[in-house]
Amino acid sequence: MGFCCFCARIDKMANEIYKTFIINTIEDEEIEISPLKIKHMRDFMRVFNDIAECKNDEESIKVISECVRIAMRQFKPELSVSIEAVEDSFDLKTLYLVLEHAAGIKFGNKEEEPISNNVDKDSSSWEDLDLVKLETEAFLLGIWKNFEELETSICMAELVTIISTNRELDYEEKKFLAAMQGVDLDKESGKEKGQKEWEDMKARVFSGGAAKDSNDILALQGQNAKKAGFGIGLGLEYEKI
């Protein structure tokens, strides 16, 4: 994968945790797409994993349509009643757009390849996430009355932002108290080494699965770009070739 056409430009500071995207139905009705809330994303990924077992494009399209039907629970409930309602409302290109902007799943442009083999391997995945642990950490903040409410309220990007901010505030408080006792908490706790795995996961979430780790240039977007003060959509552009 190569990247070119990097160029600096002045942009208004981006304050959003994630970006939204507008799609159009066949009848030209606009629908705003954003990252799926965790509850819908869980059901979505459970179905999408079946695409690896599809024997032909017809079966793959059925899986994709079912995934979009699940996504429509959040974006357009009346289209979530059946796969037929989805297929009557969107062409295949738009189905792909829903998968990309709702779940970070991208497809290649090799038309000679079966759809099931054309999923971008860099697309986001939940396989390496301990979601129960992350949700439990957020739940202990006392914002939600149960896990069901948590999962229907926030998406993965929001979950990671909440946890990241809480960890940083907690650590800075402990660091201050330790410094009062003459202790360098960064050195004593090995913070830099322990942070690498967490930073890599944040990079994948905020880049929609495009970044492989925190050192990847694609990690500098969304909240990560805002924190760095520079990145994709914040003074930097790129073109995938």
Model confidence pLDDT, tens digit, residues 222-239: 555 555 554 455 555 545
Mean pLDDT to the nearest integer, 39-45: 93
pLDDT in tens, 108-129: 776 667 887 777 755 545 566 6
Query: DSSP string covering 71-92, please?
Result: HHHHH-GGGGS-HHHHHHH--H
Q: Which one has a higher pLDDT value, 171 or 153?
A: 153
CA distance 33 to 43: 17
pLDDT in tens, 167-193: 888 878 777 777 777 766 666 555 555
pLDDT at 165: 87
| 184: nearest Cα among 192, 175, 194 | 175
Q: Decide if 38 contacts 45 (C-beta within 8 A).
A: no
Residue-wise over 168-202: b if at least 16 C-beta within 10 A, else e? Answer: eeeeeeebeeeeeeeeebeeeeeeeeeeeeeebbb
Per-residue pLDDT band at 194 (split at 50, 70, 90) = low
pLDDT at 135: 92
pTM of the model: 0.69
Least confident of 29-33, 99-103, 211-215: 211-215
Q: What Å distances lie between residue 82 and 19, 21, 66, 73, 174, CA to CA?
A: 27, 23, 8, 11, 52
Bridge partners, 155 (sequence order): 37
Least confident of 111-120, 150-159, 194-203: 194-203
Mean pLDDT to the nearest integer, 51-74: 94
Answer whether residue 197 shows pLDDT above 70: no
User: Residue holding tokens 């949700």?
Assistant: 135
pLDDT at 225: 54
> How many CB atoms sit inside 10 A of residue 86's CB?
25
